[in-house]
Structure 1
Amino acid sequence: MTSSSRDESEDLSKPFLHTGSWYRMGSRQSSIMDSSAQMLRDGSISVLLCVLIVALGPIQFGFTCGYSSPTQAKIIEDLGLSVSESLMIAAIPNIIGWLAISFAKDASFLYMGRLLEGFGVGIISYTVPVYIAEISPQNMRGSLGSVNQVGLTTGVMLAYLLGMFVNWRVLAVLGILPCTVLIPGLFFIPESPRWLAKMGMTEDFEASLQVLRGFGTDISIEVNEIKRSVASTSQRTTIRFSDLKRKRYWFPLMIGIGLLVLQQLSGINGVLFYSSNIFESAGVSASNLATFGLGVIQVLATGITTWLVDKAGRRVLLIVSSSGMTLSLILVAIAFYLEVSVSEDSQLYSMFGILSLVGLVLLVISFSVGMGAIPWLIMSEILPVNIKSLAGSIATFGNWLTSFLITLTANLLLSWNSGGTFTIYATVAAFTVVFVTLWVPETKGRTLEEIQSSFR
């Protein structure tokens, strides 16, 4: 196998964003770049446009995640599903099976639709943050990288909002819309310069970088940095699992997997997927409206993160976020523990319901200012280029496997003991504070090449 074919096989995890999947590199791509350049002379606008197009993927992703909360009760009623069947369907979040869901006649259609969507979302959840990190200028990488999470939370919020007005079949059809814009949009954005450099396409790599930085910008320093980084890794093009024992590989991989797994073990997806049920059990009558309000808060808080992340730094925001999540989860746990000790007709029961609602709002805000966006951002920054496909796939698999387990068990745990469930989640959030403090490096203000070389 040639080194070129080996590199291509390593990057199969990026099919949506390697525009070579849609057309051959060369003159055809150059003509598209030239026409794009005529419209976009300013580099920052060009990068922003690319980010906005690929952010449609996370919106689709978020819509998929949010679909379960407003619809699960009606789906169970209409199709006669058991609780375990509904849990399995909601546990596999996804991207291309909405029509199968919309025309579902029994549970098998729902399984198929969710599984198909999961394949697409699995690709998007990894490729979008990596693409954004690779095209962004160093001083904007944090802010633009956080757009991934803004898109996701926007999709969740839209699913919550539309779920209050349309039935679950119509909502499934509406879930197709982001992809109908995303797919043609990918034809009009440049390929990642770092991927082109890795594939040995020097002219295309420099042309792509020039389009992204603007035609009046001197890119020579960045070009040389990328070339040096590629040259230092090209001596060893094939990476085996045994190579991951070297600290320069296992340490960033451990950080990436650790953050993405801890993100899910905090129970956030269990809370978001079943927020309507949680609000009902807390005594909130308009549970769907409260869930939508939670979605709006999440979008706003994540938007603040895009402004803060390149100013305050990734590490500080992660510590603040996980600390806030710990306190919020403890508050919710206490509220549920106290709630079971009083009558449902008493004033105290309503007060404890409000207390749990406040705790959930604080939890979502705390999660959104750090643990929502930054783990994906750091993963895309710290992984060495020659193991990015393998290591990124492992980290993404760890995140989705944990998400699957949390979503699968959330309703069962809440039925067992709501206070105990949030106590477990609070313990994980507290450990996350320790993990970030001890092992996660600060990546603010450093180029990708500087970050990755520091692990050597």
Structure 2
Amino acid sequence: MAIHQDVETGGNISQDEITQPLIQSDKISAVQTHELSSDTSKGSLWVVLLSTFVAVCGSFEFGSCVGYSAPTQKGIRNDLGLSLAEYSVFGSILNIGAMIGAVTSGRIADLTGRKWAMRISAIVCIVAWFAIYFSQAAWSLDLGRFSMGYGIGIVSYVVPVFIAEITPKNLRGGLTTVHQLMICSGVSVAFVVGVVVTWRTLALTGLVPCLILLLGLFFIPESPRWLAKVGREKEFKAALQRLRGKDADISKEAAEIQEYIETLEKLPKAGIQDLFQRRYALSVIVGVGLIAFQQFGGINGVAFYASEIFVSAGFSSGSVGTISIACVQVPITALGAILTDRTGRRPLLLIASTGTCLGNFLTAISFFLKDHGVLSGWAPMIALAGILIYIGSFSLGLGAVPWVIMSEIFPMNIKGIAGSLVTLMHWFGAWVVSYAFNFLMIWSSSGTFFLNAGVSAATVLFIAKLVPETKGRTLEEIQASMNS
């Protein structure tokens, strides 16, 4: 079923008429660019930072949901008598809900605004956490997990888009990667806290970021670009002024955004079929491809079932491994956030995907040695090293940067529908990996990680051949160059 973007039809125009104004409007001279940067620096950025902090509470909630299943597997199975297959359903059904959330996320964000989309996500997640906390049977547990998935399916799209739309271009990459940093933080906190509290108590901790998000949304502005798109001109200028500081000159940035929106308003309403037009081909391939490779490299298998992986590798308990993951991923994700606007997107992606290939390969070797009784005493440590290299590499760039690029490459007229497609691919891949992972490990532990290593190697080639560098360019410049 086609999903339509809320853009008014303005008649047929040629491709040259679409792209030429975009290119012309973005060719700001060196002097103008310097003036714009100076104006922005004079204004206070505290509203941008506050808005980012509030939005990424949704990202932290995302991480809490993903990380919940790893430390609670034994407790939930013992208390509710779930089989391995039933627990795999519980772990993976999050992604089914998230796929539905992904399909509707762009439409919700375009119709109601970025802030209301985040409100809806927070409310759904609060209900879901209570459903899990009070569960006495598998069906209620699964219902809560499914609802939780729907909530984070929405926020996984709207948070990076919101941050990208409110930040100056010189800060956009770094602040957008805070989305992934907070996801990792949420996962890490769930891993660590889950070791020392019961699964029901851990469910209650998931309410905290939801409540902070709901409260914080009352104090931050809506996305200026969304306000401009829906024709709320006064609110658009007020929001942009608030974000750039009361003394900042926003005239050039406002004119650039408005000219871009006016051009887009001449386009017909966008449906799913419009994504297959030739001019959008590169953007769709890059956006969907990056997320597909991100997921099929095995991240959700490791995140959802980390504790059991370490037990299978020969550790007496999975807690050492999960705590090690928690200690590694947050600081490395923070490093990635710092480097995104300094080194660029492509170098981080290439380094990260190479590292995930190495980490998966080492983990596969450790299980191979253990299965064949060769150097079996070393196998657990090789597995730990492999998993930590994999998680560290993923956290450095492969977790955050695809979302940064996704938020940058799609023009406003297809951003909702394209964002929904990308997010749908994310959650479809997450579901396939999280549901199949336990069964793949039963089939062959080493084979599972060799497969993941192969996907990571293919990711390196994909990035090298197709993914553009978007560092230091306005959203309009990026989109005009890719969709012409």
TM-score, with structure 1 as normaliser: 0.89
CA displacement, residues 198-226 of structure 1 (integer Å, 9 cap, x when unaligned): 11111111111110011111111111111
Per-residue CA distance 1:306-355 (angstroms, 9 max, x = gap): 11000000011101110111111111111111111118xxxx32211101
Distance in 2 (CA, whole Å) between partners of 1:315 and 1:375 is: 10
Count of residue correspondences? 417
Matched, 1:373 2:400: yes
Asked whether the equivalents of residues 122 and 396 of structure 1 are also in contact (C-alpha less than 8 Å), the reply is yes
Q: Which has the higher contact order (CA 8 A, sep 6+)?
A: 2
Asked if the contact 2:7–2:265 (Cα under 8 Å) also holds between the matched residues in 1, the reply is no
Q: Percent identity?
A: 44
* Cα distance between partner residues in 1 of 2:220 and 2:280: 31
Unaligned regions of 5+ residues in structure 2, if any? 9-41, 99-124
Report whether the alignment pairs 1:383 with 2:410.
yes
Q: What's the secondary structure of 2:68's corresponding residue? A: helix
Structure 2 counterpart of 1:421: 448
SS in 1 for 2:468: coil
In structure 2, the residue matched to 1:211 is 242
Could you tell me how far apart the structure 2 residues matched to 1:42 and 1:302 are? 28
Other-structure match for 1:36: none
Contact 2:129–2:148, Cα closer than 8 Å, also in 1: yes
SS of the residue corresponding to residue 442 of structure 1 reads coil
Tell me if 1:227 matches 2:258.
yes
> Which string of whole-angstrom CA distances, capped at 9 and with x for unpartnered residues, describes residues 89-127 of structure 1?
111337341111111111011111011111110000000
Q: Which amino acid aligns with 1:287?
A: G
- Quote how far apart the aligned CAs of 1:283 are: 1.4
Specify the alignment match of 2:6 in structure 1.
6
Matched, 1:350 2:400: no
**Are 1:105 and 2:136 an aligned pair?**
yes
What are the within-5 Å matches in structure 2 for residues 98-137 of structure 1? 98-137=129-168
Q: Tell me which moved more, 440-449 or 197-206.
A: 197-206
Q: Distance in 2 between matches of 1:286 and 1:116?
A: 31
User: 1:357: how far off?
Assistant: 0.7
Q: Secondary structure at the match of 2:273?
A: helix
In 1, Cα distance between the equivalents of 2:358 and 2:5? Answer: 50
2:469 corresponds to 1:442: yes
2:195 is aligned to: 164
Is 439-448 or 287-296 further displaced after alignment?
A: 287-296
Map of 1:45 onto structure 2: 46
Could you state the TM-score of these two structures normalised by the residue count of structure 2? 0.84
User: Which residue in 1 is equivalent to 2:83?
Assistant: 82
Equivalent residue in structure 2 for 1:432, among 459, 466, 481: 459
Cα displacement (A) at 1:285:
2.3
Distance between the aligned counterparts of 2:279 and 2:225, measured in 1?
Answer: 20
Residue 240 of structure 1: aligned partner: 271
Alpha-carbon shift at residue 290 of structure 1 (Å): 2.1
Distance 2:159 2:405 in 1: 13
Q: Over the residues paired in the alignment, what is the CA RMSD in angstroms?
A: 1.6
SS in structure 1 at match of 2:323: helix
Partner of 1:409: 436
Please identify, of 323-332 and 56-65, the stretch whose mean Cα deviation from structure 2 is larger. 323-332
* Alpha-carbon distance in 2 for matches of 1:395, 1:238: 19
| C-alpha separation in 1, matches of 2:390 and 2:433 | 16
Give the deviation of 1:286 after TM superposition. 3.5
Q: Is the 8 A contact 1:6 1:237 kept in 2?
A: no
Displacement of 1:413: 0.6
CA distance in 2, matches of 1:177, 1:42: 32
Greater CA deviation, 329-338 or 128-137? 329-338
